[in-house]
Structures are given as structure tokens and as C-alpha cells.
Structure 1
């Protein structure tokens, strides 16, 4: 069981910051999107409290896509927001950064070489790996999957080599699009990786005994396990996808659930010699002005956070009248549907909350 004595290091996982200019940008019709940059700034400061060894960003760094006139300003703002983590930050691209995954029904333009080049000029290679303390960290470019672009074939060959040469290294993989939400055989939707790339990646992960995979894009928490690999779909820092409010039995909060701020946050991951522990840390939508970003912070330790994987576990238990997690039927928009949305099932966004999402004191 992971304990303070077995802890090797920690890292932060953040995603879907959707940074945009705080005035003059018309890339989103929702009011809550105006809060995204200030919310990302707050998250950057909170990450600094835990002094992680490195930070991984799961993509959708900015909201305006590369063809919009405010894109470059959004990129500059992103660098400014995370400047204190600059030398320790590893970034992979999301659909807002380089274009949507290939499908004619996608709501925005698809991935293209020119946008990948822009991303790599601003943030470095769109896929990469690094090793630390017996672990291999692999970051993938998922919008290019199933695209037929030369870069897709190059990444596939590179990934296979990265997994095969890992030897005894423990493997952690990071993606923007999740492989799946409920089931690895679920139909293709806007929120998962389409076939045949999905099955191909899952086969590679199984063969390499990948320990954990982290994804973003969905702006809600999901958790699953397949063949010993733990799959985490992470919260956003900016806003919640309002379509997921349909999961819940109560009326959606602000902007039809898009500003459900208690579902926003980031994670600190403690890596131990005998496993890993993911601590979800809610931000409650807190914001920080630019002139306050450089203020000193009080240090915190993730070792003091309770978790069922660690000795002592979570000190509070509860009996619930209704199920905390259940599978529900939900009509969602599907890119594979030709005439109408298709039904799909998924866990509610808060299904892991009983052990990972702390209550407000």
C-alpha cells in the first residue's frame, strides 16, 4: 500500500484551460468562458503550492482555434499564466489547439498539418516521452488518430517503439481524447477515440502493461479499469460541458450546468514505488487577477491528503439514500449518426466523488 515512505515524486495534471483574451474575443457565446483565463491563473498558483516535479497539460490550452485573430494572443496569455512552471511543463495538443478529430460531423474544422506546426512552434513536439525514477511518461497527439496524415503513421511507429523499449519502466500515458468513457466497445461519439485507433491503442497498452492513462476533453470526471490499467478522465479548469448535466437528477446550475464550478479543478499524482495515487483538487471556479499571480503562496503537501489507497484511507464514510454511481441512458450527439443522435450510456460525471472529490469545508 502506498505510504509516505514509498513516495518517489509527484506531478500535476491539468487540462482544458481554454485560455482566451479577457476582452475583445468572440470565440465563445457563453459568459462563463470569460472566466477561463482567470481560472487558469488560479490553478497555476495552486499547483505551485504542491511543488510538483513537473506538470502535464492534457490539451485545449486555448479556446480560439488557430485561424481566429485572437489565437496568438491566447497563446501568449497561456505562456504568461503558466510561466512559473515553464521549465517543468509538458504539453499535448487538444482539438482547440490543432483541430477536431477527423469526421465530417465534427462542429469545427478538422486537424491539419499547418495547425500542428503552429502548435509545435508554440509548445514543442505534439507527441513526446520522458523518463523519471523508473517511470516512462508518454504524451500522444490524439486528434490525428484515424486521420490518414503522415504524422499519424509516424506517431504509431514511435509509440510502439516507446512501449517496447520501456523494459522494466512503469508506463503512464496522456491523451486529449479519452479512449472511452463507459466501455471500450462503446460507439464512437464526440467524446472518445474512434475505431480502429481505439482498439489498436488498447492492444498496445495491454501488451505493455500500461499502469495509468489520463485524458481530458470531456470536462467531467470518469474512471475505469481495463486489464490492470487505470483510466482517468480529468476535470477542466475552465467550465463544465453542459450536456453532461443531463446525468443528474436535479436541475442544472448556472448556464445550464456549464458554470457548475464545484466540478472544476486539477490533480496532483503521487508516484510511489508500489503504485500511484491521484488526488483531485477542486478549485470551485476560483479566479486570480494577473496582478496577483506573482504573490507568494503557502506550501502544501499532497501526502497530507486522505485517499483510500493510502494508510488511514478517507476518514469519513456515509450511507446514501440513492446510488452514488449508476449507469444511465442518455441521448448524446454522435458523429457517427447520419440523421439523429444515438443513445449511449455512461457513468455520471461525479461517480468517483465518494473517494476523490472533497467536500467544501
Structure 2
């Protein structure tokens, strides 16, 4: 047996054991942010407060070193505004070798998105729905405004839904956990709650939740509510996160730390006055400020 074959054989055995579930998957954490919404505090007259908040959030991301950062929509307050867009990117680009995943919000593509507003978002911020991968974790980013109000862009809405079905129908290829990231929550607390501004209409909600149930999706992260909320079904956890920008309830501006372990996810929201000094991959070992 050649000398080079032993490392290769070891790697093969490790891969087979991991696939069979005998080795632990990588533990890691990421940060979820939502609603920096440049311009909201001052009704688009300026964005001084949003600048201060987002600078602080990004500085903490660089200090804590998450695997990645997801910003769950309403990146800006006025769709297409060049100054708000430029300021968002000026600060976001300060992330130091940490992947950033942008999610479209209703203030980014419009409450009732059109092909034109979607094209404008894609030009400035990138794709509005896509997947990403870290180790054995897969993130699915959705354009929830297209789901809440598809009427002015029905073809786009249909394409996204078909794309999602295709993605969820693919072989797992080593994926253990799938989480969905969007702006508008499926629901805040109860999967049967009535339609309102802060959730996805029940008709679409039922259809998508059934797809998630059949596909093994167990977590969905959202924003939009400008405060925290948590809802659960027998198969899905919906975590709605407070804002980096202006709060609309008792929860202060802040960020969410999300830990991913062998087969589960745990998360905690931290206001800017209570950011952790250190985050470890195991939440049980993570200290508090």
C-alpha cells in the first residue's frame, strides 16, 4: 500500500462516518440582523441614527467572528433611494472576510413588487431569492413580498415558488439542517392567525408551510415586525427578530445570535446595550455581558 493512500483512506472513512451520522457535524454560529432601514427614523430626511446603529452592528460582527451574517430585509426605507443604498453598502462592506447575505424587504422592492422594482433591487443588492451553504447547513433566502403581494408580478412570484419546490426536491448532498430567511414572517405566534400587515396571507401560508413540512424545513427567520416574536408548529419554528434600526415595541435595537449544532438551532436576541463579549460555537459555553 502506497504512503499516499492512508490519508486518502482516512478521509474517505471520515466522510462515510459523517454521512452515516456517526461523527458530529460542525458547530458554528451566525448573526441574524433585520431592518437597518436607512431613513426610517427621520422619515427619509436623513439616516444619521441608522448609520450609528448599523456601524455598531457591523463592528460587533467583526469582533464576534460569526460564520456569516444575514440581514433579513428592509435594508433601506425608500426603495431605490441612491443615498440610502450607498450608505448601507458603505457600512456593510466593512465586514471583514465574513459572508453577508442580503434579504429583500417590502421597503426594498415595494409593498407590491413589480418587475421593475425587482430589477432595481437585483441591480443594487443582488438576487432576491437564492440558496447558500455553510458546512452541512443550507440557507434559503426568499422574497416574501412576492409571496404576500404577487398581483403586480405574478410571473415572478410563480418562478420563485417553482424554484423553491425544485430546490427542496433536490437530494440532500450532505445537508443536515435547512433554514429559510425572509423579511415578512409566515406568522408571528400562531400558524392560523388572521391575515395582517405583519404576516403572510393564510392562503399562501398554508401552501408554503405544507411544502416545508414535506421537505423537512424546521426553521424560518424573519424581520419586518421591528420587535421580537416567536411561533411554532409541530414541524417549524418561526423566529421574528427585532430591528437594527428603529424599534416599534419594547425590544431595543439589536442583533440575534444563532447557534447551529448537530441537529438543532438555538438563538438569542441581544439589544445593543447587552451585546456579548464572546460567542463560542457551543451556546452553553458562551458568556453573557
Q: TM-score, normalised by structure 2?
A: 0.81
Aligned counterpart, 1:49? 63
Identify if the C-alpha distance between structure 1 residues 176 and 226 changes in structure 2 by more than 3 Å, giving closer, same or farther. Answer: same
Shift, 1:206, TM fit: 0.8
CA distance in 1, matches of 2:197, 2:130: 25
Aligned counterpart, 1:205? 212
Identify if the C-alpha distance between structure 1 residues 165 and 300 changes in structure 2 by more than 3 Å, giving closer, same or farther. Answer: farther
Contact 2:110 2:117 in 1 (8 A): yes
Shift, 1:227, TM fit: 2.1
| Structure 2 counterpart of 1:13, from 20, 32, 39 | 32
Aligned counterpart, 2:91? 81
Contact 1:18 1:37 in 2 (8 A): no
CA distance in 1, matches of 2:71, 2:221: 10
Identify if the C-alpha distance between structure 1 residues 34 and 166 changes in structure 2 by more than 3 Å, giving closer, same or farther. Answer: farther
Aligned counterpart, 1:111? 113
Aligned counterpart, 2:110? 99
Aligned counterpart, 1:156? 161
RMSD: 2.8
Q: TM-score, normalised by structure 1?
A: 0.66
How many residue pairs get aligned? The number is 260
Between Structure 1 and Structure 2, the one with more helix by share is 2
Aligned counterpart, 2:179? 172
Identify if the C-alpha distance between structure 1 residues 97 and 130 changes in structure 2 by more than 3 Å, giving closer, same or farther. Answer: same
Aligned counterpart, 2:150? 147
Shift, 1:269, TM fit: 1.3
Contact 1:59 1:93 in 2 (8 A): yes
Gap regions ≥5 residues in structure 2: 1-23
Shift, 1:27, TM fit: 2.6
Shift, 1:166, TM fit: 4.8
Contact 2:26 2:135 in 1 (8 A): no
CA distance in 2, matches of 1:75, 1:283: 23
CA distance in 2, matches of 1:26, 1:229: 36
1:82-134: CA deviations, max 9, x gaps? 1123861111110110111xxxxxxxxx2111111111111111000022211
Shift, 1:191, TM fit: 0.4
Contact 1:238 1:285 in 2 (8 A): no
Structure 1 segment 1-361 matched on structure 2, within 5 A: 8-20=27-39, 26-27=43-44, 34-66=48-80, 71-85=81-95, 88-100=99-111, 110-145=112-147, 146-148=149-151, 149-167=154-172, 169=175, 170-241=177-248, 244=249, 263-284=252-273, 300-303=277-280, 310=284
1:301-349: CA deviations, max 9, x gaps? 31288x6xx47x99xxxxxxxxxxxxxxxxxxxxxxxxxxxxxxxxxxx
CA distance in 2, matches of 1:6, 1:132: 11
Shift, 1:213, TM fit: 0.6
Contact 1:92 1:176 in 2 (8 A): yes
1:267-289: CA deviations, max 9, x gaps? 12121113222132211499xxx
Contact 1:21 1:37 in 2 (8 A): no
The runs of at least 4 consecutive aligned structure 1 residues that moved more than 4 Å come to none
CA distance in 2, matches of 1:36, 1:147: 30
